[in-house]
Structure 1
């Protein structure tokens, strides 16, 4: 009986983790992408301001990723997780009117902050309570929330927009609140998470691990054009309308649902080093497609592959960190993963601001996708060079 109760508690914790990634990443960050052309069309913001608001969310994500573990060192992790889900929920309701740009900027930043903190804290809070044999499945289930959120936003936003922008924001807020309530009592109770800054400084990472941080940051740069501009590109750039743009966002979400499972399977077959390299090559091709071949078939392929890459690259890089630190203690690996996550968030935020500024100046969608593909090719070349160094060292 006790084992059964424990098992139920574990699955409730996994469900809480899934809800956190769904609210913090799937909705708080990715629901903005299909909303972008609607905000412009309704005259709430001009195209460049609307793009900057997307970038504000990614800057918030970076801040949340940097401060999440620190907050969990001050307060019980369950309390921080609940607070961050409430903050993400409040941000939806706060954006439900045509308020000034700075108000929106603050709340889109707050939503990103909540998402970054939830990304850093949810899995580490839940996984220690999961039996080792089930941790792979549990981790996959938690990150599946990202894909569910993208698919939900792509399906719900066009339906809600029929009754207006204000009710769309409120509808997303209501869904976020429901998921927050569902997760509320599922978090494992415990003290604050141990924060060990010493683990960050010693021992020094080798060249291959340093290169992996840069590769992961460049990977983020490559994914930004789709994450921020895909729906707007289809809706306004190709003139196919918001409904069609949202269909591609749903495909992006379907890809995100499948990504972690497919990436894990690939790594099991060929190892993490080759899996990372294969993923970079595939991503570079998929990100370039909208610039080269904007036909419907190739856009479907591009949406699915890049969608799968957003959560799919996470377990690959995490596995590669473990591969490069085979004898390190868990705190050292956790510190390396924290640095990698921050590198990804930094790449994402920098690219979002840079590409938004470029788009405001040029209005050229193809250039954005071309630059994203170039960043991924550069990441692949860097990985190849670091791997060669690793072999000869």
Structure 2
């Protein structure tokens, strides 16, 4: 049976490539810069006595809290205004937050604006890609979503390269530099958003056939898998540099080199994942992703293959940090091919699951690390176990669906 609802071609007058560039700009601002640029800024903020170490850590958590709020509120935002209007507003909000953080007015001031930057990132993550992909032919959605989420990888790479260069000019100049980049990307994306919803094409034969049931079980399984994947990523995201520098005794410079490898992987990951999905389908691509990530996270847990193994681990996990996003979104689109109006709410729930589990894992693994006397390998064992569990849930769900 043919799909009852599909988008076989982009609407006349809409430039898909320009839309993909707009989506990439949004993910670069909302996640790549608003979240990941804070990591290399944190030591400088403490060193410049803007805030003490304990307080500065809470400012990092404020962005994660705002991200969760943005993911939850995105649906309400587009009920009030058009998606294109909301997306532009969120990019401007992120830009304004960079400007506001250029001076340490007070802890409350900084906290509110870090929260606002997170809120913009959560809303952009939920809304940008579905808004664009509704106008992209189904056969090209993997590549397009990969292009959109490449912005996250570029932001991770920038956090280890551009931000340290800007810091030579001082903290205020660095925040204003990030604001300038954000404003330029907002201008680039401004006219790239579709102003109207994509047309819905009905299958002429569908009126004689019963519409497929809403795939609640498959979606619930995906929410669980996506959340578990977030847990699996946290050990590398939070502890990789420290593990190399202190855990292995190689020093801060060596730790920074592994973070650059992580960033390189993050740049190529979304496009590679999207290409795999276009060829194999999003379901099989997700299974491959869970398996490969579990193996990569297990390498530092087992201490295998020395430096070469750790390099591969950093590259692979870096690739899937943003690379898992287009796979999960593509799977949502696959499951809801006959229910396109449900894609954005479902993607909002998936993003919320990821955000909640990522935040819980960050605090939980920090507790495990401190209570175990600094046992790095235990963190990676937990991460690998979460990814194996995600694969098991996906295999069970696929078998049940058959």
TM-score, normalised with respect to structure 1: 0.82
CA displacement, residues 128-149 of structure 1 (integer Å, 9 cap, x when unaligned): 4446665444332222211122
Output the CA distance in 2 between the equivalents of 1:379 and 1:133: 26
**Pairing 1:272–2:278 present:** no
CA displacement, residues 103-152 of structure 1 (integer Å, 9 cap, x when unaligned): 43332222111111111111233334446665444332222211122222
Alignment partner for residue 144 of structure 1, among 147, 150, 155? Answer: 150
Output the CA distance in 2 between the equivalents of 1:100 and 1:360: 30
| Within-5 A mapping of 1:26-65 | 26-45=32-51, 49-65=55-71
Alignment partner for residue 228 of structure 2, among 182, 204, 218? Answer: 218
Residue number in structure 1 paired with 2:120? 114
Q: Does structure 1 conserve the Cα–Cα contact (< 8 Å) formed by 2:232 and 2:383?
A: yes
Unaligned runs of 5+ residues in structure 1 are 1-5, 192-201
Output the CA distance in 1 between the equivalents of 2:104 and 2:239: 21
Alignment partner for residue 125 of structure 1, among 131, 137, 143? Answer: 131
Q: Does structure 1 conserve the Cα–Cα contact (< 8 Å) formed by 2:143 and 2:275?
A: no
Higher helix proportion: 1
Output the CA distance in 1 between the equivalents of 2:56 and 2:249: 18
**What is the alpha-carbon root mean square deviation over aligned residues?**
3.3
CA displacement, residues 350-393 of structure 1 (integer Å, 9 cap, x when unaligned): 223333455566672614333322222222233333334344xx
**Pairing 1:104–2:114 present:** no
Residue number in structure 1 paired with 2:9? none
Alignment partner for residue 162 of structure 2, among 156, 165, 171? Answer: 156
Output the CA distance in 1 between the equivalents of 2:56 and 2:379: 16
**Pairing 1:90–2:101 present:** no
TM-score, normalised with respect to structure 2: 0.81
Residue number in structure 1 paired with 2:319? 308
Output the CA distance in 1 between the equivalents of 2:137 and 2:397: 35
Q: Does structure 1 conserve the Cα–Cα contact (< 8 Å) formed by 2:142 and 2:330?
A: no
Cα offset, 1:221, TM superposition: 1.4
Q: Does structure 2 conserve the Cα–Cα contact (< 8 Å) formed by 1:30 and 1:149?
A: yes
Residue number in structure 1 paired with 2:298? 288
Cα offset, 1:235, TM superposition: 4.9
Distance 1:369 1:169, change over 3 A: farther
Output the CA distance in 2 between the equivalents of 1:203 and 1:340: 20
